[in-house]
Amino acid sequence: MGPHPRGLAQPPAAPESGGAVRGGRLLGRPAGREVRSDLPTGPDTSCLSTSVTTPEAYRLSFVVGGLLATEATIAAPLYLELRDWAAVRQALNAGNLLHARTRSTAVRLTRELIQRLSVLTDAEIAYLDTAPGPDRLHLMWVALCRHYLLVAEFAQEVVHDHYLLGVSRLVPADFERFWDSKAMWHAELEETRPATRTKLRTNLFLALRQSGMLADDATIVSPLLSPEVLDFLDARTPSDRRFFPVGGSL
């Protein structure tokens, strides 16, 4: 083919590497120069971490005692007098004030009781000391949930959600499904012996029955929370109402 007529633009050569063409010249790679390999060619991901956050390990020592509401009526006035949980522990153990059959049982019950009560505020402890029976039970359920993350999540994700969804019964199989779902992220659950797992489930269901939220026929019972208890629950964000089978915003 002969030369193109003068005045007509010549078609540009096809780019070799995807660069744009302007004025018959390939852009993106300067002629006669190597491409610098130290220039960024995409988003800088060097600051991104590939580590996976390990979830907080669950405490798994709630194997006895249920709510420990009766024991709380002994410890609460001691704390209001001494204002020191270590001193309360010493007084409870020295006088066997919890009426345990053995020394080791007394020590274990005292430790468990104080761990739960210590997550309550001083105002909650003061109210617990003189509260009517149902309110005391509800506050001790709150203490159990605050101290044990596994119980708190079961209360919210299973008990509370069952109530909202209209599922009227709570059975051991609900706990087993909940446990298995959490075990995917918590090695301590996977490694727990079956006998210990059964004790934890049994004691948790005992606490629910003692609180009045689970009937003997496995029916979930929505509690009548007093204005005083509701004030304590709503003082936290999100509200601790989430630990109960009740409606309303959290």
Measure the CA–CA gap between 109 and 67, rounded to whole angstroms.
11
Can you tell me the distance from the alpha carbon of 143 to that of 137, in angstroms, rounded to the nearest whole number? 10
- The closest alpha carbon to 158, from 142, 136, 181, belongs to 181
Going from the C-alpha of 147 to that of each of 89, 111, 112, 193, the distances in angstroms are 17, 13, 10, 22
In the chain, beta strands by DSSP E: 21-22, 25-26
Token pair 């499904």 in the structure block, residue: 177
57 and 186 in contact (C-beta within 8 Å)?
yes
Asked if 214 and 78 touch (Cβ cutoff 8 Å), the reply is: no
The domain segmentation of the chain, as residue ranges, is 69-243
25 has which bridge partners?
Answer: 22
- CB distance 69 to 140 below 8 Å: yes
pLDDT tens track of the chain, all 250 residues? 444 444 444 444 444 444 444 444 433 443 444 444 443 444 444 444 445 577 899 999 999 899 999 999 999 999 999 999 999 999 999 999 999 999 999 999 999 999 999 999 999 999 999 999 999 999 999 999 999 999 999 999 999 999 999 999 999 999 999 999 999 999 999 999 999 999 999 999 999 999 999 999 999 999 999 999 999 999 999 999 999 999 976 6
Structure tokens at 161: 């959600």
- End-to-end CA gap in the chain: 82
- Any idea which residue has 């059959």 for tokens? 101
Beta carbons of 114 and 97 less than 8 angstroms apart: no
Any idea which residue has 């208890």 for tokens?
229
Q: What is the biggest distance separating any 2 CA atoms in the chain, rounded to whole angstroms? A: 115
Backbone angles phi, psi at 22, to 5 degrees: -140, 125
Class of domain 69-243: mainly alpha
**Which ranges in 211-241 belong to alpha helices (H)?**
227-234
User: Are 145 and 243 contacting, i.e. CB atoms less than 8 angstroms apart?
Assistant: yes
The token pair at 55 is: 């979830």
Crossing angle for the helix pair 69-82 and 103-117, nearest 10 degrees?
70
Which stretch of DSSP H or E encloses residue 146?
helix 133-147
pLDDT of residue 250: 66
